[in-house]
Amino acid sequence: MHGCRRKRAVVVLWDRPVFAGVGARRRAPGTPALWGSDWGRGRPRVAPARGFSDLSSGVPADRFLLIRLSAVGDVVNTLPTLSLLRRARPDATIGFAVEDRARDLLDGHPLVDRVHVFPRRRWREMRHEPGRWGQLRSEFLEYVGGIRAPRYQVAIDVQGNVKGGVHAYFSGAPTRIGFARGYDRELNHWLSTERVVPPGDRPHRVDKFASLLGPLGIQDTTREWVFPPTEAAEGVIANFLASSGLAGGEAVLIHPGTSGRGTAKRWPPERFAQLARRIGDELGRAIVVTWGPGEEELARSVVAGNERAVVAPQTGSLLELLSLVRSAAVFVSADTGPMHLAAASGVSCVALFGPKDPAVYAPYGEGHVVLYRPDGMDQISVDEALGAVGSLLE
């Protein structure tokens, strides 16, 4: 197993559980129970730590479905929740529902018994082709049958929107744990039977996700990332580093891109290029520029004319990207999935933040520098970024 254990440095958890117990009045199976304050007023009451049962039968639950479909960074930040669940329930059957673009993080995972891959990209294409609607219907029914087949007793909806809630409902699990009203999206809480108020005012995503285990009596604050085996991916990256004359732990990795919906999170490409040049000239470090789908031209513009900088090869999987990130001395990017991969791997990050709240979305743990300018990414200077990189290399 490949794991990394980190301690949270920024957000301080309360010193006792923050989940309220089921009220004294007996409720019918399937009736939503509120864990914490649904209105967000006052300190939530404390629930007794206990095992959880299938409410319809009283049999201790041993079949769990975790649901975090997207995005890549959020799937990465769900892995500590998976580790906690497996540690607390070593003999349980654990399934994980995830979209196709993040499946590499779960396929072959040593802590997961079943991976349910939601083919979002494929079905989105089929939806616009009437001639394939019959096939789409058949594949959908097969998918639903696949998540129902294990007869999960508890579905843990980390997704927190209607898509996650529907997955939990279709799984057939009689107990569906989700976030309380105000901590979810798209009225997701309507589909939950157990509703959790996360700890604190603005908890980091890692801690928010882990709080869903509270109704199961799991309140461990340990955060551990375990990934699928990466030996094959590491061989690919080792060949790239050798051919580029680089040793592991030597280069600064820069990731200038963001997702298509993350334009407000982007730092100007010309500043990434200036930063790369100054890292080489003033800090004496090699630079590797990573890129995702549709970003190769962007990566090449960052390294243009810079003899110390190289463009990373196209990674064939997220595990190859993970292996490349692990080779970095420091990782520099905006709020991206690769940034969370780096933090989960124990690599120090310089995180460039504009509109997003770093208390919630920053790289998790100690050893990172966050440059936060809520007025806009263009308020972050190259001098600041260079100083941050230099401080982490010392």
Q: Read off the CATH number of the domain in which 82 is found.
A: 3.40.50.2000
Give bridge partners of residue 356 from the DSSP assignment: none
What's the whole-number mean pLDDT along residues 41-65?
48
Same domain membership, residue 147 and residue 62: yes
Lowest mean pLDDT, pick from 64-68, 127-131, 284-288, 338-342? 127-131
Residue 5 reports pLDDT greater than 80: no
Q: Count the neighbouring beta carbons within 10 Å of the beta carbon of residue 146.
A: 15
Per-residue pLDDT tens digits for 89-135: 999 999 999 999 999 999 999 999 999 999 988 898 998 999 999 99
Same domain, 301 and 270: yes
- Both 194 and 285 in one domain: the answer is no
Please tell me whether residues 171 and 28 are part of one structural domain.
yes
CA-to-CA distance for 285 and 330, rounded, in angstroms? Answer: 10
Do 153 and 214 belong to one domain? yes
380 and 259 together in one domain? yes
Domain-terminating residue out of 175, 208, 227: 227
Q: Are residues 180 and 139 in the same domain?
A: yes
Residues 206, 7: contact at Cβ < 8 Å? no
245 with 134, same domain?
no
Percent helix / strand / coil, the chain, rounded to 5 = 40, 15, 45
What pLDDT score does 36 carry? Answer: 34
The reported pLDDT for the residue numbered 14 is 23
Instruction: Express as a percent the part of the chain with pLDDT over 70.
Output: 85
Angle at 273 between CA 267 and CA 277, to 5 degrees: 135
- Amino acid identity, position 38: D
**Amino acid found at 155:** A
Using the 3D structure, point to which of 227, 256, 287 is the last residue of a domain: 227
Res 3: pLDDT: 55
Q: Are residues 200 and 86 in the same domain?
A: yes
Percent residues over pLDDT 90 in the chain: 77
Does 222 lie in the same domain as 204?
yes
φ, ψ dihedrals at 6, nearest 5°: -130, 155
Residue 119 sits in the same domain as residue 62:
yes
* Mean pLDDT (whole number) for 137-144: 94
Segment 50-67 mean pLDDT: 63
pLDDT digits (tens, 9 = 90+) for 236-276: 999 999 999 998 889 999 999 987 777 788 999 999 999 99
What is the model's pTM? 0.84
pLDDT tens track for 326-366: 999 999 999 999 999 999 999 999 999 998 999 999 999 99
Q: How many domains does the chain have?
A: 2
Domain boundary among 172, 207, 227: 227
What pLDDT score was predicted for residue 120? 87
Q: Are residues 196 and 313 in the same domain?
A: no
Grouping H, G, I as helix, E, B as strand and the rest as coil, residue 83 is helix
| Highest mean predicted confidence (pLDDT) among 1-10, 45-54, 194-203 | 194-203
Domain hosting residue 280, numbered range: 231-393
Q: Coil, strand, or helix at residue 27?
A: coil
